[in-house]
Amino acid sequence: MNMKSGWNRRSFLSALGAASGSLLAPARLNASGLFAKKPKLPASSVDGNPIVPITTGLGSTGDIYAELGITPLININGTITVMGGSVMKPEVMELIRRGNEHFVLIDELEIAAGKFIAKLCKSPVGYTGLVTGGAAAALVVGYAGMMTEDLEPRMRAIPDVSNFPRNEVIIQKSHRYPFDHQIRQTGAKLVEVETREEMIAAINPRTVAIHFTNILSDKGKVSGPETVAIAKAHNLYTFNDASADVPPVERLWKYPEIGFDLVTFSGGKDICGPQASGILIGKEELIRYSLLNMSPQEDRIGRCCKVGKETIFGLLKALEIFVNQDYADTLRMYDERAQVITDAVKEFGVAALPRQFNPEALGNVTPYYSWHIDPSKLRITGPEVMQQLADTRPMGIGSMGAGVGGMRGRNPDEPAAERRPSRKSELADPTTFGFAVWQLKEGEDKVIADRLIEIFSAAPKA
Ligand SMILES: *Cc1c(COP(=O)(O)O)cnc(C)c1O
């Protein structure tokens, strides 16, 4: 609801102006005082901010996880939302803190953030960005925007799209995935096709867009550029969900350049921004429609896709760091982490296997490191090693599949006994274990190495 009761924004501001006249008149505002350099920070600071002593309540023991009775994890699994996604760098935390220093008009901040994103991401002329509450939220507000445009009655009616002129979205059958729920959530009807011919045949006056699931490109029969060409020929929008598909960083500009009208990337995966953030890059008009369908606006489908000022600043800083990183350096750092582990386990006859790395992979591009256990020396299997890492306390090392799939509801049609074991564990070679190291924090390579020394010291000798 818009607060019409005399305290809407304008009357609030004018009341302030009248009450305090000269003090709040913008020209007289002593900005240099407000933004003056802060006194030098004490030595004990974190993220550029003095450590705030917490002496009572939550946090007062220094171990917030134990206070709630939960086990913190070292992430050797990946940028998995169920485990917390990724970890923000100190600079990102600092921007989040500063983003909390002042109030701003969120729409104004979003529009400015969008320009910042477009510049960083070398977006084509006529494109801009939007910070969303995750890539999934970008799907909701993006598809909502395509269907409602800037029409107030439509924005209030959605997800009832029955009276909208265009409410069908074409998707390749092989591109169906859990996040198409976010398309369906807008009321849009998905129309499945398999081939290029079927795609063209499915187009009708109610078609609004063609969806493209980037990570499933190799499963589909119609490529990204072909999808764009077909859509353009029929005056349809295209949306490319490339959420988990950077690095390589170039994809931030490559996909909009191909001609997709909207492209989303998750902010909380390897971009290492706030966990509940996402980036939507697209045609200015569509981005405006998307923001119109989103928080802070009310009576909107995307009102539950809220993004706060802190999140916006944090995401921008993370994206800046991500775009400007030297990926060769980053890779070297990953290799060094793995080397810490290799050096530690050598004495047990456990040896590093060649690094697996495919920089051309469609998504989650990161090296995978693995080690070989010599069965003539030790009687412990790779899965057992991984299980013992996961069972480490007070800090679990990885999650061994347990819980990383998220919570599941009941399915009366599927007897529990028929649940299939994960493909990964079936295929696991018992003499090897391995993981990715991209989401480790400083020093955690050493924690893993020390734990592996314990595990291998205690393992029965062959
Ligand atoms: C992770 C992911 C999403 C969701 O991203 P969030 O930022 O977590 O909302 C959507 N689509 C794909 C393909 C993803 O991998």
pLDDT at 53: 86
Helix (H) or strand (E) holding 100: none
Question: Is residue 420 over pLDDT 90?
Answer: no
In this structure, of 251-260, 378-387, 401-410, the range with the lowest mean pLDDT score is 401-410
Tell how far the Cα of 277 is from the centroid of ligand 1, in angstroms: 10
Nearest partner of 248 among 323, 321, 342, 347, judged by Cα: 323
**Cα 150 versus chain centre, distance:** 27
Asked whether 136 lines ligand 1 (CB < 6 A), one says yes
Question: pLDDT tens digits, residue range 392-405?
Answer: 999 999 987 666 77
Q: Name the token pair of 82.
A: 């169920």
One-letter identity of residue 192: E
Cβ neighbours, 10 Å, residue 227: 27
Asked whether 266 lines ligand 1 (CB < 6 A), one says yes
Cβ neighbours, 10 Å, residue 89: 17
| Nearest-angstrom CA–CA distance, 349 and 388 | 19
CA distances from 58 to 40, 44, 126, 173, 270 (A): 29, 21, 48, 48, 30
Question: Is residue 28 over pLDDT 70?
Answer: no
The CA-based dihedral angle spanning residues 438, 456, 451, 405, taken in that order and rounded to the nearest 10 degrees: 50
pLDDT at 427: 56
Please provide the average confidence, as pLDDT, over all residues in the chain.
89
Question: Is residue 330 over pLDDT 90?
Answer: yes
pLDDT at 29: 57
Ligand 1 pocket test: which of 77, 81, 141 has the largest number of ligand atoms within 8 Å of its C-beta?
81
Q: Whose CA is nearest to atom 13 of ligand 1?
A: 243
Nearest partner of 191 among 167, 218, 213, 214, judged by Cα: 167
Tell how far the Cα of 54 is from the centroid of ligand 1, in angstroms: 35
Ligand 1 pocket test: which of 181, 240, 266 has the largest number of ligand atoms within 8 Å of its C-beta?
266
Ligand 1 pocket test: which of 130, 179, 215 has the largest number of ligand atoms within 8 Å of its C-beta?
179
Q: Where in the chain is the domain with CATH 3.40.640.10?
A: 90-324
Task: Record the pTM.
Answer: 0.89
Asked whether 241 lines ligand 1 (CB < 6 A), one says yes
Question: Is residue 257 over pLDDT 60?
Answer: yes
Question: Is residue 119 over pLDDT 50?
Answer: yes
Q: Which long-range contacts (CB under 8 A, 24 or more apart) does 175-180 make?
A: 175/211, 175/212, 175/213, 175/216, 175/219, 175/220, 176/213, 177/213, 177/216, 179/135, 179/136, 179/139, 179/213, 179/241, 179/243, 180/211, 180/213
Query: Which residues lie across from 213 on neighbouring strands?
Result: 241
Question: Is residue 422 over pLDDT 90?
Answer: no
Q: Where in the chain is the domain with CATH 3.90.1150?
A: 327-407+421-458
Q: Whose CA is nearest to atom 11 of ligand 1?
A: 243
Q: Strands 207-213 and 262-266, how do they pair?
A: unpaired
Nearest partner of 447 among 378, 389, 401, 399, judged by Cα: 389
Name the one residue in this structure whose structure tokens are 């939550």. 58
Question: Is residue 1 over pLDDT 70?
Answer: no
Question: pLDDT tens digits, residue range 335-384?
Answer: 999 999 999 999 999 999 999 999 999 998 999 999 999 999 999 999 99
| Nearest-angstrom CA–CA distance, 132 and 305 | 7
Asked whether 399 lines ligand 1 (CB < 6 A), one says no
Asked whether 357 lines ligand 1 (CB < 6 A), one says no
Q: Domain 90-324 carries which CATH code? A: 3.40.640.10
> What sign does the CA torsion over 318, 322, 325, 328 have?
positive
Which CATH number does the domain 327-407+421-458 belong to among 2.30.29, 3.90.920, 3.90.1150, 3.90.320?
3.90.1150
Question: pLDDT tens digits, residue range 46-58?
Answer: 555 556 889 999 9
pLDDT at 187: 98
Question: Is residue 5 over pLDDT 80?
Answer: no
Tell how far the Cα of 138 is from the centroid of ligand 1, in angstroms: 9
Contacts of residue 112, Cβ cutoff 8 Å, sequence gap at least 6: none
Whether residue 247 contacts residue 223, with contact meaning beta carbons closer than 8 Å, is answered with no
